[in-house]
Amino acid sequence: MAKLYFSYAAMNAGKSTILLQASHNYRERGMRTLLLTAALDDRAGTGVIASRIGVCEQALLFREGDDLYGTILDAHAEGHLHCIFIDEAQFLTPDQVWQLARVADRLKIPVMCYGLRTDFQGKLFPGSAELLAIADSLREIRTICACGAKATMVVRQGPDGTPLVEGRQVDIGGNDKYISLCRAHWEEKVGRWPGKGTRQ
């Protein structure tokens, strides 16, 4: 039975590497996959999913308002698809998450989504929130804080390395802008709990 999967993690946990390896495994067995990534993130080039270890693949872009069910249905009509892979799934809209659920339910094609769970303020991205609510299978991909504990939070840094606690939710960047920390060190770094003011 086809399912909607959500694999989530903090930054630099290897999400894209795992996605590309899984797609490769399908293709190695003669199966056809479709890769999609957010148009918002073009750090590796337009329509490219790239891992930090140097592996990359071309992918279709998705933008807010795109009908992903229709896109996948059209691609499936051109040749049977065995699996759909979505990178940067945190940038999906809630409607698009439901469109992907319909791909699994109606077209019987597994959909594997990979993305961040929370932003730099410790708040859920809308796409991630919807995936956590309706995905058939949830998996945490772990990375570690500098202290060795599991990293679950992300700090956004200014040009001078100062932690930022306010700003728009989406600000594309990599190691130059974000660091992954455990919850205790995240709270220590930003100096407050979200929505609770300064630390007591």
Amino acid residing at 61:
L
DSSP 151: E
* pLDDT top residue among 159 and 75: 75
Handedness of CA 73, 78, 84, 85 (dihedral sign): negative
Go through the domains of the chain in sequence order and give each one's CATH number.
4-141 (3.40.50.300)
Token pair for 181: 């920390």
Query: For the segment 138-191, what is each residue's pLDDT rounded down to a tens digit?
Result: 999 988 888 989 988 888 877 776 766 666 666 655 556 778 888 888 888 787
Q: Give me the pLDDT at residue 15, please.
A: 87
- Report whether pLDDT(32) > 80: yes
Q: What is the pLDDT of residues 105-118, one digit of tens each?
A: 999 999 999 999 98
- 140 sits in which H/E element: strand 137-140
CB neighbours of 127 closer than 8 A, spacing ≥ 6? Answer: 89, 90, 91, 92, 93, 94, 96, 97, 115
CA 68, CA 39: separation in Å to the nearest integer?
13
Residues with catalytic annotation? 88
